Amino acid sequence: MSNQALIESVANAINAASETSPNRKAGKARLNAIFECLRDRICLFEYSPNTLLREAELAAEFGVSRTPIRQILQRLEGEKLVDIKDGVGTIVTGVDFASLRDVYELRLKLAEIISDVSPRNPSDADLDIINSLVKRATVLRETHDLAEFWRVQNDRHHVINSLIGNEVLRTIHDRLYFQTARVWYGIVDQMWAEAIQELLAELEELSRAIRSGETRAVALVSRNYIAYAMSRFAQYFSPR
């Protein structure tokens, strides 16, 4: 997705929120949209590691003051996607492969308990989303589009994340996904056919799991895919 497309997406989210929500909710939706836009840029390497993010430039780009941009950058620091250094500014972090291996292992454990802590049972609406993602992923067999791969993966993640009823677990589950996402997308280009095949297989299994109406079935599918990603991650970054 281009920078302009991301900015337009932010604008659309802001407009939709302002038309249907009180000012406070609209303001929160606006900040969330900018946060997600910057997170996407980092995870898709539009902002490569060690890039300096300037508050004034981002504020001008999104038409807000520097205060909300500073808040958003602090959120990104909490996600370990940037590092805020006194006297230097906000720097996009590099990738610590040893630490990310630990994150993957924790994601694997969290997936095992998704259905144990106040889960929401999957709905027909969830099934419709997953089935639409199957169609979009099928197109990727013929179209090498990393940004669309990212969007499909994100939409899949959001469906699974929304089934977690416990707010703390849901927040941690979401945060850890994005900590590992940019490493995964960094190697997808080099294993495109396999990645699309595995994505389609996961989506089709998720569709069957959702039709069962059991969150536990969805959790098992998610766990298996994380285990696959861990395996490919280890193979790719193991010493040669």
Contact 161, 183 (CB under 8 A): no
Cα–Cα dist 136/131, whole Å: 9
Q: Token pair for residue 221?
A: 């599918």
- Look at residue 52 and give its three-state secondary structure: strand
pTM: 0.79
Q: What is the mean pLDDT of residues 145-164?
A: 94
Domains and CATH numbers, the chain: 3-92 (1.10.10.10), 97-237 (1.20.120.530)
Band of residue 137 on the pLDDT scale cut at 50, 70, 90: very high
Confidence category of residue 189, pLDDT binned at 50, 70, 90: confident
CB 6 within 8 A of CB 40: yes
Identify the DSSP state of 54.
Answer: P
Say how many C-beta atoms besides its own lie within 10 A of residue 35's C-beta. Answer: 19
Give the distance from CA 205 to its chain's centroid.
20
Strand, coil or helix: 164: coil
Q: Report pLDDT digits (tens) over 80-129.
A: 899 999 889 999 998 777 777 888 899 999 999 999 988 999 999 999 99
Contacts 24+ apart (CB under 8 A), 138-145: 138/200, 140/196, 140/199, 141/193, 141/196, 141/200, 144/192
Distances (CA, A) of 143 to 138, 192, 196, 199, 200: 9, 10, 10, 14, 14
Half-sphere exposure of 164 (CA within 13 A, CB side): 20
